[in-house]
Homo-oligomer: A and B are copies of this chain.
Amino acid sequence: MGSIGSPNGDQVDLAEYLFRRLYQLGVRSVQGVPGDYNLVSLDYIKPAGLYLAGNANELNAGYAADGYARVKGISALVTLFGVGELSALNAIGGAFAEKAPVVHIIGTPPTHAQNLGLNLHHSFGDGDFKRFVRVYRESTCAQANLVDPGTAPAEIYEVLRQCLKLSRPAKVSLLGLKGKLGPFDPGMDFRIMHGVIVDILKPDELIRATGYPTYVTPFGKGAMNWVNSCDLVIRFGPLDIDTNTYGFTTLTDRKVIIDIHRYSISIGRGLRQDLNTKDLLRTLLPCSIHPLFTPSSPLQAPIQSAPIDQATFWTRMSKFLRPSDIILTETGTSSSGGQDLILPPQATMINSALWLSIGYTLGATVGVALAQKDLALQNNQPTGRTNLFDGDGSFQMTTRSISVIFGNRLNVIFLINNNGYTIERHIHAVELPGRTRFFGAPTDDPSYPVLAYRATNWGELLLMDTVQVKAGKGFSLVEVVMGQDDAPASLERLVRMAAERNEGLIK
B-binding residues in A (CB < 8 A): 35-36, 40, 56-59, 82-83, 86-87, 89-90, 93-94, 96-97, 109-110, 112-113, 118-125, 131-132, 134-135, 138-139, 176-179, 239-243, 248, 353-359, 396-400, 403, 422, 424-426, 428-429, 432, 435-440, 498, 502, 505-507
Q: How many Å lie between the Cα of A57 and that of B435 in the bound state? A: 30
| Interface secondary structure of A, over-half rule | loop
- Report the minimum CB–CB distance from A84 to chain B (whole Å): 8
Q: Can you name 24 A-B pairs with beta carbons within 8 Å?
A: A36-B502, A56-B399, A59-B59, A59-B87, A82-B93, A82-B355, A83-B355, A83-B356, A93-B124, A97-B124, A110-B507, A118-B248, A123-B354, A125-B354, A135-B135, A177-B506, A396-B400, A397-B400, A399-B399, A422-B440, A425-B429, A425-B438, A425-B439, A429-B438
CB–CB A359/B57 < 8 A: yes
A498 vs B131: C-alpha distance when bound (angstroms): 23
Q: Determine if B425 and A121 form an interchain contact, defined as CB atoms under 8 angstroms apart.
A: no
> Contact: B507 with A178, CB < 8 Å?
yes
Whether A356 pairs with B122 at a CB distance below 8 angstroms is yes
A353 to B123, CA, bound (A): 11
Apart from A83-B356, A89-B90, A120-B241, list 17 A-B contacts with CB within 8 A: A56-B397, A57-B359, A57-B396, A97-B124, A119-B239, A122-B357, A123-B354, A125-B239, A131-B138, A425-B437, A425-B440, A428-B432, A428-B435, A428-B436, A429-B429, A429-B438, A432-B432
Give the nearest-CB partner of A99 in chain B. B125
Shortest CB distance A214–B (Å): 23
Instruction: Judge whether B436 and A506 touch: CB under 8 Å.
Output: no
Contact of A507 with B176 in the complex, beta carbons under 8 Å: yes
Which residues of the other chain, B, contact A94 by a CB distance below 8 angstroms? Answer: 83
For residue A275, give the distance in angstroms from its CB to the closest CB of chain B.
22
With A110-B507, A425-B439, A429-B429 as contacts: A86 and B82 at CB distance below 8 Å: no
